[in-house]
Each structure stands twice: as C-alpha cells, then as structure tokens.
Amino acid sequence: MTTSAEQLAVDAIRMLSIDAVEKARSGHPGAPMGMADMAIVVWGSFLTVDPTHPEWPDRDRFVLSNGHASMLLYALLHLSGFPLPMESIENFRQLGFPTAGHPEIDPTIGIETTTGPLGQGFATGVGMAIAEEQLRAELGADLVDHRVYGFVSDGDLMEGVAAEAASLAGHLGLGRIVYLYDDNGISLVGPTDLAFSEDVPSRFDASGWHTLTVDGHDRAALREAVTAAVAEESRPSLISCKTHIGFGSPNKQDTASAHGSPLGADEVALVREAYGWDRPPFDVPGEVYEFFATAMARGTSARQAWEERRDRAFATDEDRAARWRAYHDAGPVSAAVPPHEPGASVATRKVSGVVLNAIAAARPDLIGGAADLASSTNTLLDGTGDFSKRDRSGRNLRFGVREHAMGAVVNGITVHGGLRGYGATFLTFSDYMRGAVRLGALMGAPAIWVWTHDSIFLGEDGPTHQPVEHVAALRAIPNLWVVRPSDPAETAAAWEMAMNRTDGPTALVLTRQGLPVPDAMAEPETAARGGYIARDGADAVLVATGSEVWVAREAAELLDDSGISLRVVSMPCVEAFAVQDAEYRSSVLGDGIPRASLEAGVTFGWQSITGDGGLNIGLDAFGASAPWQDLAERYGFTPAAVATRVAEWLGGR
C-alpha cells in the first residue's frame, strides 16, 4: 500500500512528538497525536510564513494556546525548515535547548509568543489581530494583510481570560482570527464533563463569532472549514474539531493517561505498529521534508512579492516610507516635564495623562486603553478616536471591565511588532491581570502598564480598593520595572523609561490624590536612574517613593530642629536603581549610614535596601474607608509621625 506524503507528514508529527516525550520522560504526547491532522491542514494549505525569513512583518501569526502540546509546534517548525534542528527535538525539555516544556517566544525560530498558562495564548492572539487591523488601516492592505491562526483546547476555553478576550474579539469583529478548537473531551484528570458541559459553539455564537464543527481527523472537512473561516471577514472564527487524544494508541486513546505522561515503551511499540511506522526514533522520511518544503514555498513566494510591493511603494511615496519607519523603527523618547507651579497640588495620574498625550502625538505606534477606567486613569488619547468595527485607525482601546483580557491583549499587540501597547486600571486590580503581566515579563515584551489609585490614600472606597501589598508583589516579578513617581519630573521620567525600554514591561504606579510640587525637581534623566538624593543629609538616609517623598522631605525639615541631618532619597524605580553601577548606588545611599524606608504599603522587600537594623515604615495591614488625610493620621504617614519614628529609631541604636 502506498502512503501519501500528507499522511506520512501527519504520522511524522505524531512520532516526533511521541519519541521526544518518551526520551525526555516528560511531556504531553496525547494532544499532538490528536491534533496532527489539524496541524497539517493549517500549515500545509493555509498558514503563510517563510522559514528563510521568520520575522517577515507580513507573515501570518500562529499561536499554540494549549502550550502543553508544545512538541506539536516544535515538530512543525523543524519539518517546515525553520532553524530548529533535529538535535533540539531530540533534547526536548532539556537545559540549553529552545524546545522548552511549553513554548517560549522566539520569532527567529517561528515561536510567536510564550504560552502554557491556559487561556493566555487565546487572548494574546486577539491582541495580535488588533495590531494587524490597526496597522493595515494606517499603512495599507498591500503591506499589512495577514491572519492569526491558533490552536486552543478545552482548558483554554475554561479559563476566564479566554472568555473575556472572546467577548472583546466578537464585539470588535476581528475577522482575521481563525482558531481551531481541539475538542477531545479529555483534561488532565479525566473526561471534561467532570466540570465542563456547556455548548461551546453556542457560547461563541452569542459572543459574535463565526463557528463551525467538524471531524478533526477528516482533512477534507477541515480544509473546507478553514476556507470558510478565512472567507469570513467580519467575525472571528472558532472551528470545533472533534478529535481523539492519543490518536492511534491501542490502550490510551481517549483517556487522560495520554494527556500529561509518556506513553511508555510498550505502548509506543504498539502505536508504531498501528501507524505502520517502522523507522527508529527521530528518523523522518525525505518525502515529509519535501511535503513541507512545498508548503513553505507558498510563504517564500508571498514574502518576495511583499518585498517587491514594499520597495515600489517606498520608492514612489517617501511619506509612506516614513510612516512605516515611525511604526517599525521608532527612535527614543525624550519626555518633557509639564509645567507646574511649585507648591501646587497635582496627582501623578493627571501629570501622566498630559505626558502620555504629548508622547502619543509624536509616536503613532502607541495604542492602548483602560478597563472601563480611562477617565480615572487619565489614559485617553486626545483626537485619535476609538478602535472599533467602523474605525480600525482609532488608537483608544475600550477594553470594558476585562482586566484579565486586557493584560494578554496588550501583550499580543506588543509582541506582534509595529505597535507599543499600554493598558490601565486601578492598582488593586492588577491582581486580575497578574498572569499576563508575568508572562509579558518572561517574554521581555515592552508593554506599558498604567496603574493608578496606588495606595490607601485613594480614601473612601476602602480596603477593597486600597492596594497595600501590590507594589511589593509586582516588584517580585523578574524583569518588570515598577515606577512610582513623586512629582511631575519623575512622572515624565517614568514614561520616558517605559517608552525607551525594549527588553521588558514597565509599570507606572500613580496617585489619585494631589501631591505638592517641590520647589526644585530632579531632571528626568536623573530620576530615570531609579534613585537619587532629593535632600542631602549626613546622619541617616530615608528612602521614599511616590506620595511619601514629600512626607519624607517635610519630616527631614522637622528633624533639623532636633539636630538630626536626614538625607532623603527618592527611589521611583527600585529595579532601575539596582542596575546602576556600585559607585552611583553608594553615592546615593552612602556607606555606613543608617537607612530607613518609607512607603504606604507592606514593608516586604525593603530590607534589601535598608539592611539589618534598618527601619521600614509602611503598612503591614489593610486600610480603612475614610478621607485620605484621616488615613495618613491614623497610620502614621504624616511628616510629624515619620519624624518621630526616625528620631526614636536613631535614638535606640
């Protein structure tokens, strides 16, 4: 019997996945076995990518949201000719190889986003689709004309972040999303009907999606369904593919035991027999590589034609070439400090809004919005319109009350390329989006988060809305820079830091209440170093952030009368300060000088600055509902209370 090249390719995907998991003694073989037919249809007939130029801007984006099926993606990338050699397949989940247990972003080898936490990939793909629509509206369909294809699982669709993102995508009519749902009825612990019995297509119909249901092993039906999805321009598409997890395994097909563990040597031998696969592990027939080479030639031709269109367009239209560069090769930002009178009272969230709009006027690639809080977070871009079904050029994103989705969508916009995404909400609700923030930090995605109402001093809304542990918890995320500015100059510096950072996300943590503008402010470039001397002194150092810097200054003035010379250090960004050279850090904090910290939140983490015997003034408890001035009195955040604490501490040393 002659086996078609396509069937050989399907079985090669399955066997590479099985053998890699078996060798690693770790992984998820069942999903790749069940999804191989879906994969061969999408990659063989629809997905337009070019392995010789993996980062070509107008390529289709592919998202494997069910990242536990990572070997499916790695097999596809290797067989398609991306720079992912067989050695990496053979060393699945091993140190030093890009074939991690769950995909980690690396566009140079075709991995478009990090996935694994279920639902995040689904929502990230929605952000990619928004980016494509916005760029196409601004730069033209001849240069921006691609789609987002994705594979999603039952687990993805159980997670709330996917439900939020699906609702937003349907509302916006993001017709260039084509998601294939691996509907195999099995989760890690057993049948999905233990906890999941809804009619998924009906739910997506209700959210404004185009839905289809097919046999996920019928490749002709799959092609017909994907063709219909591609033709559907006004609605995102979800194709429910009925599949068998662990397809072909005599004893483990359609069972949870095929989900998260190797099949075992005996079962692998039976699977080889069932597939008629008589080759040793990691041995792929030449016909399979030829099949994928033919499929990928489609993308190479498309990329070459795109480059010709681009070159003609730029040669005849210098303005268009300049606009392309403004999106894809923007230079550094220098943020001006908005004018404010010394002694005036101004909230850093309001200063941020002024700075944001000034930057956005010069940077058309900046796009974002808030979770139904644009007026409170001051994150509305003036004169740019809203991104909507009717206006794809709008730069204000109306996320609705969807913090979970907002985080992942902004990540997707940012990793897509060509745009810088930002998202905003109250600081206390950053917990809702923490999964996406963490994933963005892991990816090194330079997304920007604007979190306002940053302490108990938001006042009467009470402890449900008053963040006390959030700043410390966010500082614990590696590669996330948390900036808590105290005045207009530091706020401008915060935006400058965020816009110029390219290797990770930056969070701006801003006040609701007004803060007094000091007589003299540091230059933004000084504040951007993360910490600096705001008032010199010799007896002790008090490090403060945000709304507590003015309190520290006035406390120092009071201590002068007691003969205590207190140095005040403003430290808007602990992470930026930590990467300064040792000489600079020493010049700011001093050597052998007692150190204290002041921040209206939990004291956790400040010991790394103040050291043994240091004083940490904060709030290791929840707040209360009251005007902010009353809360400052109650919890000891007035200049007099801080001066007393510092004097007692120094007296007891």
Any idea which residues carry the catalytic annotation? 403
Residues of 15-45 as b/e, b for ≥16 C-beta within 10 angstroms?
A: bbbbbbbbbbeebbbbbbbbbbbbbbbbbbe
Starting at the earlier edge strand, list the strands of the sheet with 148-153.
61-64, 148-153, 177-183, 237-242, 210-215
The gap from C-alpha 75 to its chain's centroid, in whole angstroms, comes to: 25
* Max CA separation in the chain (angstroms): 97
User: Is residue 176 within a helix (H) or strand (E), and if so which, with residue range?
Assistant: none
CA torsion angle for 15, 16, 18, 21 (degrees, to 10)? Answer: 170
What is the rounded CA–CA span in Å between residue 435 and residue 160? Answer: 12
What is the rounded CA–CA span in Å between residue 76 and residue 150? Answer: 14
What is the rounded CA–CA span in Å between residue 148 and residue 135? Answer: 14
**Do residues 207 and 247 make contact, with C-beta atoms less than 8 angstroms apart?**
no
- CB neighbours of residue 83 within 10 Å: 15
Q: Which residues pair with 366 in a beta bridge?
A: 420
Lookup result for tokens 């489609």: 298
Per-residue CA distances from 551 to 346, 487, 564, 603 (Å): 15, 13, 16, 17
139 CB-near residues (< 8 Å, 6+ apart): 320, 323, 324, 327
User: Integer distance in angstroms from the first to the last C-alpha of the chain?
Assistant: 88
Full DSSP string of 12-66:
HHHHHHHHHHHHHT-S--HHHHHHHHHHHHHHHHT----TTSTT-TTSPEEEESS
C-alpha radius of gyration, the chain, whole number: 27
What is the rounded CA–CA span in Å between residue 92 and residue 262? Answer: 13
**Do residues 505 and 445 make contact, with C-beta atoms less than 8 angstroms apart?**
yes
- The angle subtended at Cα 171 by Cα 165 and Cα 174, nearest 5°, is 75
What is the rounded CA–CA span in Å between residue 461 and residue 455? Answer: 11
Per-residue CA distances from 549 to 200, 506, 522, 599 (Å): 52, 21, 13, 9
**Do residues 550 and 511 make contact, with C-beta atoms less than 8 angstroms apart?**
no
What is the rounded CA–CA span in Å between residue 431 and residue 349? Answer: 19
Question: Mind spelling out the 3-state secondary structure of 91-127?
Answer: CCCCCCCCCCCCCCCEHHHCECCCCCCCCHHHHHHHH
**Do residues 544 and 551 make contact, with C-beta atoms less than 8 angstroms apart?**
yes
What is the rounded CA–CA span in Å between residue 378 and residue 349? Answer: 6
Q: Which two tokens stand for residue 473?
A: 């918890």
